[in-house]
Each structure stands twice: as C-alpha cells, then as structure tokens.
Amino acid sequence: MPKLLLNCDIGESFGAWRMGLDAEVMPYIDCANIACGFHASDPGTMRRTVALAAEHSVRIGAHPAYPDLVGFGRRSMACSPQEIEDMVLYQVGALDGLCRAQGQQVRYVKPHGAMYQDMMRDPAKLAAVLRAVASYGGDLPLMLMSTADNTAAQRLADEHGVALLFETFADRAYDRAGYLVARSEPGAVHHDSEVIVAQAIALARGDALTASDGSAVRLRSDTLCVHGDNAGSVAAVRRIREALQALEPV
C-alpha cells in the first residue's frame, strides 16, 4: 500500500495577524502548502514557514490563489486563462526564490480556494494552471481533488506532461460522483474524530466510502488534506498520523 501523504494549508498569517498553529501541526504532516502572498501570507511569513518545513523535513508546495486578501482567496474572480497562468507562475517563483535562499525548493503546486474549485469545473482554467506548472520546470506535480472519475483531468495533465497528486479529505462528506458535499448541506463536514480517523484509514486502504445518498464511492488518494487551524484540529492530525503509521508494515 503506497504511503498516504498528509498535506496542510499553512503559512497563512499576514503581518501582525496570526492564523493557524503552524509550529504545532508541522511535525505530523508530509507536505506543507505554503501561501504565496495573494490570498494570505507575506515575504517574512513565507520565509519563516519554509524554514519550519525544512526543520521537520516536510516537502514544500506552492499554494497560489486569486489576488484576494480580503476574501482569503475564496471568491471566484473573472480572470482569463492567461491571467491565471501568469499569477500561478508569479507565486510559484516567489516562494521558490525564498526556498532557494534557504537551500530548499518548491516540490509541488496546489492551488487554493476559489482557484482550486474553478480549475476543477473549467478545463480551460485547469489547462492554464497546468501550463504554468509545466513551464516552470522541475517536474513539479500538481495536486488536485480526486473524484470518482479522474479521466478528464488525467488526460489533460498527460497532454501537458504534468504528474498529478490526487487529494482527498477525511473530514468531508462526498456525493456519488466523488465531489465534496456543499458546506451548506447538513452532514457536509465531519466533526466526530472517530469518523474522521475511520475515513482516513479507509482512504489509505483504498476502501470505498459511503456517499451522501448511501451509494459506494471509491476515490484514488495520493494525499489527504488535514488542518492546523486550532488545538482540536492538530489533535485530529496527530490521531490520523498514528492510525496511518499503524497500517505501515513493520
């Protein structure tokens, strides 16, 4: 069974405003999705987060977004594919520069918020992100949401020569097509730690999940998104890490 990588959105503080328990969650994750300044973060925060990731041997990923500090990158913007390609290149380059100054490098790309959602719905926007990743070089993989049918995304990525890391969530409910249930719907977010850990184990094993309509849905999972927003979420990440380690062969 391939190792299921734990990834976390991180480095999202801005100036005097602090967000997330970065130092607390970093020891339990494999991949740090570091904000690049468009939806959160600033050069100092980025530099410090790179250093923290390096200290814990965590691979560093660029977490680009729409230029939306006020909305935390969660509002869709009327950006053309060319604009999206340009802003992804700009943000990856900014983070990679701070990485290289510390003997590190960007290892993958995971778009944030509305950009992430938009590229899943619009092939032209996904192609723009893929062009940016491919042209930056370094054989960077692109992290994107796993669904019940990843065929179209995989085909487009293959055309651009970009490897994909399919991402799943332990604390979210899925519909029969493998898409996340909208947060406005009841039961969309799991709060019971036992349920969250059980779903993480099922995804690691490749077992089917029970969709919102009761059907079975199976998702490819290369990486699992976890959160370090508060003490409770960090405790959940620790439990997930311990549960996954118990699955590894001795």
CA distance 241 to 243: 5
Supply the angle between the helices 123-136 and 151-160 in degrees, to the nearest 10: 40
CA-based nearest residue to 49, from 8, 90, 87, 110? 8
- CATH number assigned to the domain comprising residue 31: 3.20.20.370
What is the pLDDT confidence band of residue 2, given thresholds at 50, 70 and 90? low
What's residue 247's pLDDT?
84
Is residue 27, in this structure, part of any structural domain at all?
yes
CA-based nearest residue to 38, from 63, 8, 57, 60? 63
Is residue 70, in this structure, part of any structural domain at all?
yes
- Side chain identity at 183, as an amino acid letter? R
CB atoms within 10 A of CB 16: 5
Is residue 12, in this structure, part of any structural domain at all?
yes
What's residue 228's pLDDT?
87
Count of domains in the chain?
Answer: 1
pTM for the predicted model, two decimal places = 0.94
What's residue 143's pLDDT?
98
Is residue 17, in this structure, part of any structural domain at all?
yes
The residue with greater pLDDT, 169 or 193, is 169
| Per-residue model confidence as pLDDT tens digits over 219-248 | 999 999 998 888 888 999 999 999 998 887
Helix (H) or strand (E) holding 60: strand 59-63
Is residue 193, in this structure, part of any structural domain at all?
no
Is residue 194, in this structure, part of any structural domain at all?
no
Per the structure, the complete domain to which residue 124 belongs is given by: 5-169+221-227
Is residue 239, in this structure, part of any structural domain at all?
no
| Per-residue model confidence as pLDDT tens digits over 47-100 | 999 999 999 999 999 999 999 999 999 999 999 999 999 999 999 999 999 999
What's residue 34's pLDDT?
98
Is residue 120, in this structure, part of any structural domain at all?
yes
8: helix, coil or strand?
Answer: strand
